[in-house]
Amino acid sequence: MVKYKWPILGVLFVGFATVPVWGSEYVLLFCLLYCLYLAMSQMWNLLAGYTSLLSLGQQAFIGFSGYAVAVLTNYYGVYIWLSVLIGGFFSVLLALFMSLFIFRMRGIYFAIGTWIFAEMLLLWFSNWKYVKYGTGLFIKPPHPPSMTTIYYASLIMGAGATAAIYIILRSKIGLGLMAMRDDEDVSEAMGVEIFRSKLFCFMVGSFITGLTAGVLYVFQIFIQPYKAFAIDWTVILVFIVIIGGIGTIEGPIVGTFIYVLLSQWLAEYAHISLLLLGIIAITIILLAPTGIMGTLHQKTGFAILSPRRL
Amino acid sequence: MESLLQPILNGVLLGGLYAVIAIGMSTMFGIVKLVNLAHGDLMIMSSYLSLVIVAWLGVNPLWSLLGVVPVMFFVGFFIQDFLINRVLGKEMEPPLLVAFGLSIIVQNFLLLIFTPDARSLTTDLAVKTIPLGEHLNLAVLYLVDFLLGGAVILAVYLFFKNTYMGRAIRAASDDEMGASLMGVNTRKIYAYAMGIAMMTAGVAGVLVGMTFTFYPHTGPQYLIIAMGVVIIGGLGSMKGCLAGGLILALAQLLGAHFTSPGYQLLFGYGALLVVLGLRPQGLFGGKI
C-alpha cells in the first residue's frame, strides 16, 4: 500500500481537481465543503494532535478573518482574493496578540484561554457599529467569483493544508514537535526549542485557518458574529479529528468525509447531526482512542501519509 | 457614590449565584483533575428538568429542587462511572474531550425536545424588591439566590470536612494509590463525587432558571462563568470559589455600570484574563 502512496494521492488529487468537469453541482458543493473543513481540521490537528496546544478558540480566527474579508471588500473595495489573503495575515496578527497572554498557560488553561478570546471577539463585534452590530454583513465584491473559482480556492486550501502539515512534520521542527509530544521536559533538555516551535505552529494554524475561513465566507457571502465566532466551529473540528484519528494526517481526511456526509444528509436537522457526531466521538474515545485511522494503523500498519521517515 | 451602591449590592448577590454555579466544577477539578466541559449544559438540563416538574405539578420552582437534586445525583454518578472513569489516566485530553462531546450531546438533545424557545421558571418572587434606601433596592430573588447558594457551598464544605464519604473522597484525591490500598474504591468514589457536584449543579440550574431566561444553548455561557470563577479563585478551592464569584460578578456589573450593559460579559472576561496572565493558579490556588 505504502509503495503506491504517490500514485494513489495523485489520482485522488486529479479526481478532485477535475470535479467541475465531471461532477454535478451537488458534488461540487460537497467537495468544496469537504476541502474547506479538511483544511481547518488539519490545522486543529496540527495544534492539538502534534503540538499539544488544545485550542478551543479556532472560531476566533475564522470570525476575525471572515470579518476582515467583509470589511475590506465592502468598505475599501479591495480585490476579493487579495482581501482573503490579508484576512489570513490579520488572523496571524490575532494569533500573535493572543500568544502574549495564553502562551504562559498549559493544557486546559490554554484551552479555556483561547475560548475566552473568541468569546470576547464575539462580544466586541456584536457591539461594534462599524460592522453593523449583530446583524452582520453581506460580502459584496463588484465581480463575484464563480462557483468554480471558489471551488479551486478551497481545493488549494484543502490540499495545501494537508501538504503543509506533512512538510512541517517531516522537517526539523516536526521532529522536535513529536519529541515534545512524548516528553516535553526531556525534549527541551535535548535542545528542542519548544516555545518557538509551538508559536510557529500556532501561527501557521491561524494563517491557514484564517485563509480557509476567508474562502468560506466568499462562498457564504454573509457573515454574522453569533455564527462566525460560535464555538460550533471548534466543536465540528474536534469531532472530525477525533473520529478520524488525532495525531495522524490521514485522520482528518477520513473524519471530514464522515462529517460532511452526515451534515449534508441531515442538512435540515443540524442538531441531530451534531448529536450523532457527539455520540460517535464519545464512542470512539472510549473504544478506539486513536480514531479510525489510528486504529487502522495499529491493526494493519496502514499509513499513507505518515511523517515517519522509516 | 449613591448610584454605585446598587451595582455593588447586585454584584455581591450575583456573586453568590456564580459561586454555586462553579462549586461543582471546582470540586471535580480538585478531586478528579477533571475539567467538566459539560457542567454548564448539565446545569441547564436541570433547569429544564425543573421546568418539567413545575409544569407537571404546578408547584413553586423551589419545591422542584426535591426532584431535580436527586435525579442530578444519579446523572452525575452514571456519567462518571460509565464514561469518564474509563478514560481517566495520565493524559488530560481524553476526559476533557468526552466531557466536550457530552456537552454537545446534552445541548442538541435539549434542543430536540424543548425547541430553541426561551424559557424561564416563573415565580412571584421575581418582581418583589425590598427598598433599602432612596435609590437602593434589594431584589428578593437575588437574595434567595445568594442565601441558597451560600447554603449549598457551606453544605459541600461540611460534607467534605466531617463525613466519612467526604474524607474518603479527599483521600482519593490526595493520593489515589494510598487511598485504594486503605480499602477505598477510588473509581466509585469519583462517581460519588461527580454525583455530588451534579447535585450542586442541580440547585444552580433551578436558581439560574428562576433568575434568568434560558435556552438549550445557554450552557456554554454558564460554563464560561463557572470556569471564570474557578480560575479567578483557584482550581479546587472553596474559599476561592466564593471570592471568584464575587470578583467576576462585581467586575461585570461595575464594568457595565460605567460603560454600557452590552459590555457586561466583556468585563468579566477581562478580569479573568488579567488573573490568568498575572497569577495563572488563581487567587487561592496552590501551584499548578
Q: Which residues of A108-125 are buried (b: 16+ CB within 10 A; e: fewer)?
A: bbbbbbbbbbbbbbbbeb
> Is B182 a domain residue?
yes
Residue B284 domain-assigned (yes or no): no
Question: Distance between CA atoms of B206 and B218, rounded to whole angstroms?
Answer: 14
On the 0-12 / 13-18 / 19+ scale of CB atoms within 10 A, B66 is: exposed
Does A285 contact B231 at a Cβ distance shorter than 8 Å?
no
Q: Is residue B148 part of a domain?
A: yes
Write out pLDDT tens, residues B19-45: 999 999 988 888 888 889 999 999 999
Whether residue A183 contacts residue A36, with contact meaning beta carbons closer than 8 Å, is answered with no
pLDDT at B286: 58
pLDDT given at position B194: 95
pLDDT at B287: 45
Q: Is B120 exposed, middle or buried (0-12, 13-18, 19+ CB in 10 A)?
A: middle
DSSP codes of every residue in A97-164:
HHHHHHTT--HHHHHHHHHHHHHHHHHHHHT-GGGTGGG-EE---SSPPPHHHHHHHHHHHHHHHHHH
A241 contacts: CB under 8 Å, gap ≥ 6: A41, A44, A45, A48, A49, A251, A252, A255, A291
β-strand pairing of B129-131 with A222-223: unpaired
Cell of A289: 482512542
Q: Does B121 contact chain A (CB < 8 Å)? A: no
Task: Closest CB to A274: pick one of B104, B276, B277.
Answer: B104
Report in angstroms the alpha-carbon separations of B158 from B25, B33, B161, B162, B247. 17, 21, 5, 6, 24
The total domain count for chain B is: 1
pLDDT of residue A62: 97
Mean pLDDT, chain B, whole residue set: 88
**Cell matching residue B3:** 448610584
C-alpha cell at B247: 470578583
pLDDT tens digits, one per residue of B113-142: 998 899 988 887 777 888 887 778 888 899
Distance from CA of B144 to the nearest CA of A (A): 30
- Report how far residue B102's alpha carbon sits from residue B164's, in angstroms, rounded to the nearest whole number: 31
pLDDT tens-digit profile of B221-276?
Answer: 899 899 889 888 887 778 888 899 999 999 999 988 888 887 888 888 888 878 87
The residues of chain A scoring below 70 in pLDDT are 1-2, 308-310
Residues from chain A contacting residue B93 (CB–CB below 8 Å): 48, 54
Contact A127 B260 (CB under 8 A): yes
Q: Under DSSP, is residue A292 helix (H, G, I), strand (E, B) or coil?
A: helix
Give me the CATH number covering residue B162: 1.10.3470
- A114-140 pLDDT, tens per residue? 998 998 899 899 988 898 888 889 998
Answer yes or no: is pLDDT of B288 > 50.
Answer: no
Name chain A contacts of B266, Cβ cutoff 8 Å.
120, 123-124, 127
Quick one: B4 exposed, middle or buried, by C-beta within 10 A (0-12, 13-18, 19+)? Answer: exposed
Cβ contact (<8 Å) for B260 and A285?
Answer: no
Contacts of B193 (CB under 8 A, 6+ apart): B27, B28, B31, B32, B80, B169
Residue B4 to residues B10, B136, B250, Cα–Cα distance (Å): 10, 10, 11
CA distance A92 to chain B (A): 20
In this predicted structure, what is the pLDDT of residue A304?
A: 75
Q: Do B104 and A108 touch (CB under 8 A)?
A: no
Measured from the Cβ of residue A226, the count of other Cβ atoms closer than 10 Å reads 12
Range of the domain at B270: 2-278
Q: Is B169 exposed, middle or buried (0-12, 13-18, 19+ CB in 10 A)?
A: buried
Set of cell numbers at residue B19: 459561586
- The SS3 assignment for A222 reads strand
**B224 and chain A: CB distance < 8 Å anywhere?**
yes
What's the one-letter identity of residue B232?
I
The CATH code for residues A2-300 is: 1.10.3470
Which residues on B lie below 8 Å from A101 (Cβ)? 273, 276-277
Q: If you compute the radius of gyration of chain A from its CA atoms, what whole number of angstroms results?
A: 19
Rounded Cα gap, residues A121 and B266, in angstroms: 9
ipTM reported for the complex, 2 dp = 0.84
Per-residue pLDDT reduced to its tens digit, B45-74: 999 999 999 999 988 899 999 999 999 999
Query: CA–CA separation, A248 vs A294, rounded Å?
Result: 7
Grid coordinates representing B81?
462511572
The strand ranges marked E within chain B are 129-131, 137-139
B179 is a domain residue: yes
Interchain pair A285, B111: CB under 8 A: no
Quick check: B195 and B74 in contact, CB under 8 A? yes
- Residue B283 is assigned to a structural domain of this protein: no
Residues from chain B that touch A289, judged by Cβ atoms under 8 A, are 87, 94
Q: Is B131 on the interface with A (CB under 8 A)?
A: no
Which stretches within chain A are classed as H helix?
5-17, 19-22, 25-44, 58-76, 80-102, 107-126, 147-170, 172-182, 184-189, 194-220, 225-228, 232-244, 250-265, 270-287, 291-300
pLDDT tens readout for residues B191-235 = 999 999 999 999 999 999 999 999 998 998 899 899 889 888 887
In degrees and rounded to multiples of 5, residue A216 shows phi and psi of -60, -40
Chain B residues 26-45 within an 8 A CB cutoff of chain A:
35
**In contact, B30 and B235? CB cutoff 8 Å:** yes
Which residues in chain A (202-231) have CB-CB distances under 8 A to chain B?
A: 231
Mutation target vs B (from A102, A108, A237, A268; most B CBs, 10 A cutoff): A108
Residue B288 in domain: no
C-alpha cell at B242: 466564593
Look at residue B1 in the predicted model and tell me its pLDDT.
56
Residue A141 grid cell: 465584491
Q: How far is A101 from chain B (nearest CA, A)?
A: 6
